[in-house]
Chains A and B, each alone.
Chain A
Amino acid sequence: MNEVNPKTRLLNVLNKRTTDRPPVICMGGMMNASIVEIMNSTGFTLPAAHDNPDLMASLAGAIQEQTGFENLGVPFCMTVEAELLGSRIDKGTLACEPKITKEAFCSVGAVIYRDIDEMIESGRIRTVTAATTKLAVTHQHLPVVVSMTGPISTAASIIDPMSFYKELRKNPASAHRVLDYVTELLIRFAEKSVKAGASVIAIGDPSATGEILGPLMFKEYAVRYLNVLTEAVHGFGTPVILHICGDINKVRSLIPELQADAISTDAMVNLAKLKEDYPSVTTMGNLSTYSLQWGSPHSIAAQTSKLVGDGIDIISPACGLSTSTTLANIRAMTRTVQGE
């Protein structure tokens, strides 16, 4: 039998080629699988791994090896970009992910525009890039997925979100200027990641949901800047996975306008139906992280089988995993897809 390697399999799916079976992945970033159980058994721990490229690569490697996910995913948070842009970050603990403690600016008008060439060579973008370089060399048969925070979520992490959401409506000219700036930084981050060996760029944009923005602003801001970013990454010859949080019902008809090569969604979205309605969309997801945390391996295997049976193109968790999720439960998911 000719075994397809996981990198080829994922790239084939993203390029709309047929494969032997769906890949099972966990993209990293907001949806990383750095569970306490793995960190404790390996000694590769957070929060130290957020800042140390060797540790970041070792933890990503250990997660892949122990969970069976068919990719390496870095980083393990969604604060890399916001920190670089000036927000204050709490790096969290072993069990709790980093968070923004204070946004850098109070309004879109107050944003100080810095030189992107300088920023791109500093902060934790360097950490992520170095970890990516290492992983791409040590794991050539596996895709390295670099996860980035989407434009709206990055903007809402550097500007007080209460002001930001209001100003999307009240002050669109300044809001667009901020999003242009943030998107440019993300494009350069993606470019560095691709040069370092990333096979796929994943974007999570939890602050840009249809539920928050409504269809008009989702189109004006989310679709627009996500597509600018996606098309730039395509220019580097690299596919893009986009995760959209929450219920996509209100913005469903806009999904085919997104240029990303796969759309990942939350657990409440019926992916089989999405696929049926929009056959051009490559679907990814969406095993409930609630089930992954609280369910039994048996029920997780059954839910995973259902997703595979429904023809979902890439199997993955539907949202961020709780750090107390057990390895046994994650393995129930990956092994089901792998037919073990």
Chain B
Amino acid sequence: MSDNKEQIFFTALSDAVLDMDETTVEEVAHKVIKEKFDAYRAIENGLVDGMNRAGQLFEDEEYFIPEILLCSDAMYAGLNILNPYINRQQQSARKKVVIGVVEGDTHDIGKNLVKTLLDAAGFDVIDLGRDLPPCQIVDAAIAEQADVIALSTLMTTTMDAMASVIKILQESGYRDSVKVIVGGGPLSQSFADRIGADGYAPSAPSAVKLLHKLFQDTIHA
């Protein structure tokens, strides 16, 4: 019975995220706490499930940027309420990603989308922001002991900065300890190959798939 009732709440959370309905997400999240349901499961089976469904609609080109940003707001509104109630052990062993937009570019919509979907996929994402000098990205990755550096740019003129990040990693001896993935409008697989990146993702949902592939699905295993 209680499982069933729990699932009704989780489904309500998932639907509200998909419907971009921040208010309902907050209401249901408070009820989850009040009813003492498992907060971690509410996140996984409710909020994250809703965001994954939104990501699928984005991939199917039924949702676009405005919709996905609103779903993301709804998901984070729920996470803010539920996160304090989850058991720390439940969130160990997550792969750490530092993400940012390279120097010269201040467009960060794409980066923010990737961050949201990686959060939803169970990665521990540290957002470095936009217009970042290559050194700063590498320093942050080393300091955070990141497993992944995810780089984005929207401008052709700033693509070379991505190559600099990889070069600095090589020179400082850290290249093998971190995977570098790149994405953004003007990029391509051949560009990623040229600069020696570990992968290229043409869209935000494909960035999640790419990382799952690079880590051979060890994240949720």
Contacts and interface: CB of A to CB of B under 8 A. Distances in A.
Interface of A: 92, 95-97, 99-101, 161-162, 165-166, 168-170, 206, 211-214, 217, 245-246, 250, 289-290, 293-294, 319-324
Given A162-B69, A165-B109, A166-B70, A95 B64 contact: no
A289 B186 contact: yes
Interface in B63-95: 63-67, 69-70, 73
B202 to A, nearest CB: 10
B157 A320 contact: yes
B40 interface: no
Contacts of B168: none
B17 interface: no
Contact of B159 (A97, A101, A211, A322): A322
B185 interface: yes
B106 A100 contact: yes
A290 B191 contact: yes
30 contacts: A92-B104, A96-B157, A96-B158, A97-B157, A101-B106, A161-B107, A161-B108, A162-B109, A162-B112, A165-B109, A166-B70, A169-B20, A206-B154, A211-B64, A212-B64, A212-B109, A213-B64, A213-B66, A214-B61, A214-B64, A214-B67, A217-B66, A245-B185, A289-B186, A290-B191, A294-B194, A320-B157, A322-B159, A322-B160, A323-B157
Contacts of B69: 162, 165-166
A165 to B, nearest CB: 5
Contacts of A289: 156, 186
Interface of B: 20, 61, 63-67, 69-70, 73, 104-109, 112, 131, 154-160, 185-186, 188, 191, 194
A165 B105 contact: no
Contacts of B105: 99
Contacts of A250: 61
A114 B173 CA distance: 54
Contacts of B194: 294
B136 to A, nearest CB: 16
Contacts of B131: 99, 101
B180 to A, nearest CB: 20
B106 A99 contact: yes
Nearest to B159: A322
Nearest first, the 5 A-B pairs at minimum CB distance are A214-B64, A169-B66, A212-B65, A165-B66, A96-B104
Nearest to B107: A161
Contacts of B65: 165, 212-214
Contacts of A290: 156, 186, 188, 191
Most chain B CB inside 10 Å of its own CB: which residue of A165, A217, A323: A165
Given A162-B112, A290-B186, A168 B66 contact: yes
Nearest to B67: A169
A245 B194 CA distance: 24
A162 to B, nearest CB: 6
A269 to B, nearest CB: 13
B186 A319 contact: yes
A290 B109 CA distance: 23
Contact of A322 (B20, B107, B157, B185): B157
Contacts of B106: 99-101
Contacts of A246: 185
B207 to A, nearest CB: 15
A324 B160 contact: yes
Contacts of A212: 64-65, 109
Contacts of A169: 20, 66-67, 70
A320 B156 contact: yes
B57 to A, nearest CB: 11
Contacts of B73: 166
A170 B186 contact: no
Most chain B CB inside 10 Å of its own CB: which residue of A99, A101, A170, A289: A99
Contacts of B109: 161-162, 165, 212
Given A169-B70, A217-B66, A245-B185, A97 B61 contact: no
A184 B185 CA distance: 29
A274 B155 CA distance: 25
Contacts of B112: 162
Given A100-B106, A162-B109, 12 more contacts: A96-B104, A96-B158, A99-B131, A101-B106, A101-B131, A161-B109, A166-B69, A166-B73, A213-B64, A214-B64, A319-B186, A324-B160
A217 B70 CA distance: 15
Contacts of A324: 160
A250 B69 CA distance: 19
Nearest to A31: B156
A151 B128 CA distance: 30
